[in-house]
């Protein structure tokens, strides 16, 4: 809660008003924090002077008083400090004291900076005088020459002092303190990290200990209006030597042979599908320049060249165009994709970074979705099918109840809505299987284009910060990435018991007579699916079982698969899945890891100056829940606070937080991901209140939506029929 509001307007003449704590009228945010003036109370303060004063606590909300510090508390602190003399300038008003026991030094914030005191902008916001300040303990190294500051590149003596700091994770990374502070204020907590190894956790922890202020805000470059607008401009021009399009090189007609495909390496060259003889938009394509670079660097050494007709008349560039893509090596039809992470590591990326980049497409313009939690599927379907809906608009969720005669609306959590939608999708008749699911064949859903809508919902959910689907079979995922023709299903993919029995009976035969007997018994079925074949040896049973598998899992659902794949193209999700399969595999095919005390403790940030005893109770409660000593589960705690039962791949936005308040029971604000803990006298009272509130709230929410379950089951049965 100590985040600076750097963009608030300041009253005219604020630069001439002196801070009530340090009596200086300097306005230097990087040095003293933002200067805030409250004309109503004739009060001016520097943010750091206020934050680090020893006798004041943040008792209000962020919008109350000055940054949550109440006006009456500020006046009391000023009065207390007026009796204390600064040990540097010898003037009264020294509101900051050294926290070291028996040290009596007090000083103004600017005076402390002058004498190289260290102020820690974390925890209890401790202050240390020049005699007791923390130091960096570094083993002696024999540096023959000076080393550059890795930020400003000026050479410095590699000796740790107040003004020279060393990175805790890179022994040869040294910084000026002033350079680090400017960098921290500009980057914010989300982007401030070691300039050498990119580490953030260890690096930030050490810098906070050494008195670097890291504000809880987005980076300055993230706050610029339309800062990444150019990234949303797709290149749309055909650059091949001979463009066949009569409408010209700039003509682009989506879902046709005149759709422009961009180079998958540089993205700054394009081609019409027809001009490069690309059978579909999914096929990878590189421009000649990128192909030449990859060829010369050995990127095609392991790829097999396809034989061309009349090779005597083929040039080097034409040969390059026939090479397989370095990202997805071409396989012969029927080749099994056994491991989705087998591709080259040079294209391997972190899933959260990919989804965050996809999120750059989301515009600030908002589109309101009216969602009935009791009918999550149909209300979401209506919203997404609305002509005014645009997947790249920011979604604003409003909960409504069709049975409410007053038409009341309630602000909703986008991530909760997406989590509920994914849970419904997993259990819908569009998929079949127990844990690892494949697409089903549902004629009614196909007629209503629901497979397309399901793919679209999955894509929108991922880009807008929704949870991991986690229920795809490996076979379904490989079909999306490498194509059905390059995927071999397994027996576990068959959800139909009778079909699975036929395959097992075929595999269990020990002679040709038994195999023919099984085929005769299943003659009508085998004829229907086109798998009748002449048996000449016992080894034919493997071909027969493979044919049945391919038909039931892949060929039978060809139409639903193609429709689903088209929906998954929304916001470029399918293209990224095919480019980075190893990153998306865990998101689609595995459930998130089980929550633990450590995970939830790290997930929730603690508001400034929260009650220490309540935080101890909170940690003990998490341990009790994890150990099975409570009726509540870790997932229920997360649902109560955020509406999600797992952490989304791109994390929560805003970051989940905890505050301690004098209240009867805990309160979860799912829109802000904030959990308010009750301040109690004993742990037993704390646990009873937590258990009761969480269990009761989730039970009531379940009961509110239960009236629709019966109707929903009937619809599902009708769709299956």
CA angle 665, 670, 676 (to 5 degrees): 30
Determine the Cα–Cα distance for residues 706 and 375; give it in Å rounded to an integer: 10
Please indicate whether residue 671 is annotated as part of the active site.
yes
Using H for helix, E for strand and C for coil, what is the string for 510-565?
CCHHHHHHHHHHCHHHHHHHCCCCCCCCCCHHHHHHHHHHHHHHCHHHHHHHHHHH
What's the chain's Rg over C-alpha atoms? 32
> Which stretches of 65-176 are DSSP H helices?
71-81, 109-114
Which DSSP string do the residues of 351-375 spell out, in sequence order?
A: HHHHHHHHGGG-EEEEEEEEE-GGG
What tokens appear for 566 in the block? 């088209």
477 φ/ψ angles, rounded to the nearest 5 degrees:
-65, -45
Note whether 30 and 181 are within 8 A (CB).
yes
Note whether 174 and 152 are within 8 A (CB).
no
Cα within 13 Å of Cα(305), Cβ side: 14
What tokens appear for 604 in the block? 């929730």
* Type and span of the H or E element at 410: strand 410-411
Note whether 169 and 205 are within 8 A (CB).
no
Note whether 372 and 397 are within 8 A (CB).
no
Exactly one of 19, 111, 671, 674 is catalytic; which is it?
671
Phi/psi class of residue 628: alpha, beta or left (left: φ > 0; alpha: ψ in -120 to 50)? left
Nearest of 308, 290, 310 to residue 300 by alpha carbon: 290
CB-based burial label for 363 (10 Å; 0-12, 13-18, 19+)? middle
* C-alpha pair distances (Å), 196 with each of 147, 149, 610: 14, 11, 35
Dihedral through CA 410, CA 413, CA 417, CA 423, nearest 10? -130
Determine the Cα–Cα distance for residues 135 and 166; give it in Å rounded to an integer: 11
Note whether 666 and 694 are within 8 A (CB).
yes
Note whether 666 and 603 are within 8 A (CB).
no
Indicate which residues carry an active-site annotation. 671
């Amino acid at each position: 809660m100590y985040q600076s509001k750097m963009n608030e307007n300041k009253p005219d003449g604020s630069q001439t008003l002196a801070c009530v704590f340090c009596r200086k009228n300097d306005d230097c945010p990087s040095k003293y924090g933002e200067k805030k003036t409250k004309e109503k109370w004739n009060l001016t303060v520097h943010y750091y002077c206020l934050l680090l004063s020893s006798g004041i606590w943040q008792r209000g909300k962020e919008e109350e008083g000055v940054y949550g510090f109440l006006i009456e508390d500020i006046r009391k602190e000023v009065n207390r400090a007026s009796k204390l003399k600064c040990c540097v300038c010898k003037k009264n008003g020294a509101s900051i004291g050294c926290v070291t026991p028996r040290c009596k030094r007090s000083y103004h914030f600017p005076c402390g900076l002058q004498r190289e005191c260290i102020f820690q902008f974390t925890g209890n916001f401790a202050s240390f005088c020049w005699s007791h300040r923390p130091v960096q303990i570094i083993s002696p190294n024999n540096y023959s020459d000076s080393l550059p500051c890795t930020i400003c590149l000026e050479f410095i003596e590699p000796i740790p002092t107040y003004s020279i700091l060393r990175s805790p994770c890179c022994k040869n990374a040294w910084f000026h303190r002033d350079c680090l502070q400017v960098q921290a204020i500009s980057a914010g907590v989300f982007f401030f990290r070691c300039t050498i190894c990119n580490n953030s956790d260890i690096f930030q922890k050490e810098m906070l200990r050494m008195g670097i202020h890291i504000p809880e805000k987005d980076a300055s470059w993230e706050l610029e209006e339309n800062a990444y607008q150019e990234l949303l401009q797709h290149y749309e021009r055909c650059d091949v030597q001979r463009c066949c399009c009569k409408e010209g090189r700039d003509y682009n007609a989506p879902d046709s042979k005149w759709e422009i495909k961009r180079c998958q390496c540089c993205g700054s060259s394009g081609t019409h599908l027809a001009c490069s003889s690309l059978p579909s938009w999914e096929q990878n394509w590189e421009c000649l320049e990128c192909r030449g670079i990859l060829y010369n660097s050995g990127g095609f050494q392991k790829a097999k060249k396809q034989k061309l007709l009349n090779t005597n008349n083929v040039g080097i560039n034409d040969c390059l165009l026939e090479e397989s893509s370095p990202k997805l090596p071409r396989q012969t039809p029927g080749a099994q994709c056994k491991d989705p992470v087998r591709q080259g590591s040079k294209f391997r990326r972190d899933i959260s970074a990919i989804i965050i980049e996809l999120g750059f497409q989301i515009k600030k313009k908002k589109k309101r979705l009216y969602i009935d939690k009791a009918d999550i599927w149909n209300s979401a379907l209506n919203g997404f099918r609305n002509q005014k809906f645009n997947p790249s608009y920011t979604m604003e969720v409003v909960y409504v109840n069709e049975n409410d005669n007053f038409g009341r609306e309630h602000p909703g959590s986008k991530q909760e809505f997406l989590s509920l939608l994914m849970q419904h999708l997993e259990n819908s008749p569009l998929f079949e299987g127990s844990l690892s699911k494949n697409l089903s064949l549902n004629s009614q859903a196909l007629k209503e284009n629901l497979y397309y809508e399901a793919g679209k919902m999955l894509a929108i959910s991922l880009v807008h910060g929704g949870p991991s689907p986690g229920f795809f079979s490996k076979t379904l995922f490989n079909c999306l990435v490498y194509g059905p023709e390059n995927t071999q299903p397994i027996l576990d993919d068959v959800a139909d018991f009778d079909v699975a029995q036929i395959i097992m009976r075929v595999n269990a035969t020990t002679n040709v007579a038994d195999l023919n007997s099984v085929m005769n018994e299943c003659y009508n079925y085998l004829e229907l699916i086109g798998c009748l074949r002449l048996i000449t040896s016992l080894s034919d049973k493997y071909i027969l079982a493979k044919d049945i598998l391919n038909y039931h899992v892949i060929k039978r659902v060809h139409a639903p698969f193609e429709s689903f794949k088209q929906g998954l193209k929304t916001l470029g999700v399918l293209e990224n899945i095919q480019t980075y399969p190893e990153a998306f595999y865990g998101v689609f095919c595995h459930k998130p890891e089980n929550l633990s005390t450590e995970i939830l403790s790290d997930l929730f940030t603690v508001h400034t100056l929260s009650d220490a005893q309540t935080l101890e109770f909170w940690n003990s409660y998490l341990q009790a829940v994890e150990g099975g000593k409570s009726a509540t589960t870790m997932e229920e705690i997360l649902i109560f606070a955020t509406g999600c039962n797992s952490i989304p791949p791109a994390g929560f936005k805003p970051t989940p937080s905890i505050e301690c308040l004098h209240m009867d029971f805990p309160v979860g604000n799912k829109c802000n991901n904030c959990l308010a803990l009750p301040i109690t006298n004993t742990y037993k009272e704390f646990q009873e209140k937590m258990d009761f509130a969480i269990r009761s709230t989730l039970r009531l929410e379940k009961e509110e939506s239960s009236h629709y379950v019966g109707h929903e089951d009937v619809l599902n049965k009708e769709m299956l029929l």
